[in-house]
Structure 1
Amino acid sequence: MSDSVLPALLQSYLDELVPDRPAELRAMEALAAAEGFPIIGPACGQLCYLVARMVGARRIFELGSGFGYSTAWFARALKETHGDAGEVHHTVWEQDLSEQARRHLAALGLLDLVRFHVGEAVAALSAQAGGFDLIFSDIDKEDYPASLPVIERQLRPGGVLIVDNLLWGNRVLDPAADDPATAGIRRFTRLIADSPQWTGSILPIRDGLLLALKR
């Protein structure tokens, strides 16, 4: 499955418009490309950074963080807005990914802003004190619907939810696609759209990024 539903030239154009960024972030992008590791990419990273800056987020929780690429964008926003006062929670199943993220974030000078969790992401979110300003989700897609009650409980009113892969390589448009991941994305999207608690929109960049405000 392609990482982007956009034509390659258009995605490249959007990525090239992202302002210059630290060499370590570019190295992470090169590593992801070389290893075929899925990351949100520069255009989505810039959007996450921008939203965090716009809402003045101090507490951010990531459900699924990979080797720390999206974490770095959020942590940069916190650093530039609040100095060392904020926190980003990085969650992965694998200890080696957590350690890799620590190395990247240390190289970026952002390590002190990050709280690391190794284990199931929704359980880790549930175990925290609530009142997060921003929650980002990129977990297994079949688990998206079941995660929503925990997200709703832990995100403050007026907080922002960002969810990756809502277009899922355009499989959500294919009536014949009924695998658990695609079905989970469709169900989650409908739950957000039909809920009086949320105002949201899917931005068709990369693989579809949901941006939703908790009322």
Structure 2
Amino acid sequence: MKFEKIKNRNYVFTKNTPWGWDLTIHVIKGDKFNYVIDTGLGSEHFAPVLEFIMHDNKPIIAINTHYHWDHIWGNSSLPNGMLVSHKLCRDMIEEYWEEMIQKNQKCIEGETAMVLPNVTFDQELYFPEDKIRLIYTPGHTIDSISVLDEVEGVLNAADNIGDSLEELIPSLAIEKEQYIQTLLKYKELDFDTCISGHNVVLDKSVIDQILNLIQ
């Protein structure tokens, strides 16, 4: 798994999967908390991330950007921590867990068990101690959220960015116009670096690129 320091407190773990796509776990080391954005494919996949953040002895806040299996199977590696998502995400994990396991069981790395988010929100959630902002941004899924580090200007747009530079528009579970509203919301945010679930690290210009492609 590739490890990359993006800025002073932003780090990315990227796994090149056997199925032809990369998968990102994003860590933000705040002053009060360590934030982990998505938990990957299971305990084995998540282990190096957990080792990296445990050295600080700071409480961990894990965030599920949406309910899809490749972003939540490591939840059970943090059974006693704070696990945050949109309120729809919790419901959808519970509803689709068995179906996702049955369809994608070969992709599990290590162990997994259904651990549901224990903190949910509707439109926004803010952690003022570290200036971390969670925002409801439907697009790839109806429950999708994004995470903004206001200190370093880093946005994690999760799977609202397509999987490659050649396919910047993701598959959508909502109407195109609603996704465009999410993109316009991104344009209003103050950031210069964009991290996603499966693409390389990009800059803010990717938002205009997607808007030009989709409109």
- Does the pair score TM above 0.5? no
Greater strand share, structure number? 2
Greater helix share, structure number? 1
Q: Which has the higher contact order (CA 8 A, sep 6+)?
A: 1
Q: TM-score w.r.t. structure 2 length? A: 0.43
